[in-house]
Amino acid sequence: MVKTTESESRNLLMRLREAMAGDDAGQARLDKITQLIADSMQSEVCSVYLFRDDETLELCATQGLNVESVHQTRMRIGEGLVGHVARYGKVINTPDAPNAKGFRYMPETGEERFSSFLGVPIQRLGEMLGVLVVQSKEGREFSSDAVYALEVVAMVIAEMTELGAFVGEGAALSPLHQQPVLLRGTIAQEGAVEGHVWLHEPRVVVTNPIADDPHRELERLHEAVEELRVGVDKMLEVTQTGDKEQLQVLEAYRMFANSKGWMRRMEEDIGRGLSAEAAVEKEQSQARARMGQVQDAYLRERLSDLDDLSNRLLRILTGQGSETGAELPEDPVLIARNIGPGELLEYGRNLRGIVLEEGSVGSHAAIIARALAIPLVVHTKRITTEALNGDHIMVDGEQGVVHLRPDDTVVSAFRDKIAMQAKAQERYASIRDKQALTRDGRRVHLLMNAGLMADLPSLENSGAEGVGLFRTELQFLVRNQMPKRSELVALYQRVLDAAGGKRVVFRTLDIGSDKVLPYMKPTDEPNPALGWRAIRVGLDKPGVMRMQLQALIRAANGRPLTVMFPFVAQFEEFRDAKAEVEKTLERERRLGHALPEKLEVGAMLETPSLAFAPQKFFDEVEFLSIGGNDLKQFFFAADRENERVRKRYDTLNVSYLSFIAQIVERCEKSGTPLSFCGEDAGRPIEAVCLAAMGLRVLSMRPASVGPVKSLLMRVDLNDIRKIITDARHRGEQTVRPAVMQYLREL
Residues carrying an active site annotation: 364, 677
Spatial CA neighbour of 678 closest among 696, 704, 712, 657:
704
Burial (CB count within 10 angstroms: exposed 0-12, middle 13-18, buried 19+), residue 620: middle
3-class SS at 104? coil
Q: What is the C-alpha to C-alpha distance for residues 341 and 352, in angstroms, rounded to an integer?
A: 17
Residue 650: DSSP 8-state: -
SS3 content of the chain, % helix, strand, coil (to 5): 50, 15, 35
Which amino acid would we find at residue 649? Y
Is residue 584 within 8 A of residue 553, CB to CB? The reply is yes
* CB contact set of 484 (below 8 Å; sequence gap of 6+): none
3-class SS at 357? coil
Q: What is the C-alpha to C-alpha distance for residues 112 and 94, in angstroms, rounded to an integer?
A: 14
Beta strand 401-404 pairing with 392-396: antiparallel
How many other C-beta atoms are found inside a 10 Å radius of the C-beta of residue 579? 11
Sheet with strand 353-356: strands edge to edge = 181-184, 401-404, 392-396, 192-199, 332-336, 353-356, 376-378, 186-189
Beta-bridged to residue 392, according to DSSP, are 196
* CB contact set of 737 (below 8 Å; sequence gap of 6+): none
Q: What is the C-alpha to C-alpha distance for residues 512 and 520, in angstroms, rounded to an integer?
A: 10
How many other C-beta atoms are found inside a 10 Å radius of the C-beta of residue 327? 10
3-class SS at 564? strand
Output the CA torsion 245→247→251→254 (10° steps).
130
Which amino acid would we find at residue 486? S
Spatial CA neighbour of 698 closest among 731, 660, 650:
660
Q: What is the C-alpha to C-alpha distance for residues 152 and 214, in angstroms, rounded to an integer?
A: 15
Counted residue by residue, the chain has a size of 746
Q: What is the C-alpha to C-alpha distance for residues 589 and 63, in angstroms, rounded to an integer?
A: 88
Spatial CA neighbour of 627 closest among 457, 471, 504, 733:
471
Give Cα separations from 561 to 318, 469, 543, 566 (angstroms). Answer: 56, 13, 20, 16
Q: What is the C-alpha to C-alpha distance for residues 304 and 128, in angstroms, rounded to an integer?
A: 18
Q: What is the C-alpha to C-alpha distance for residues 404 and 426, in angstroms, rounded to an integer?
A: 29
Q: What is the C-alpha to C-alpha distance for residues 371 and 545, in angstroms, rounded to an integer?
A: 24
The alpha-carbon radius of gyration of the chain (Å, integer) is 30
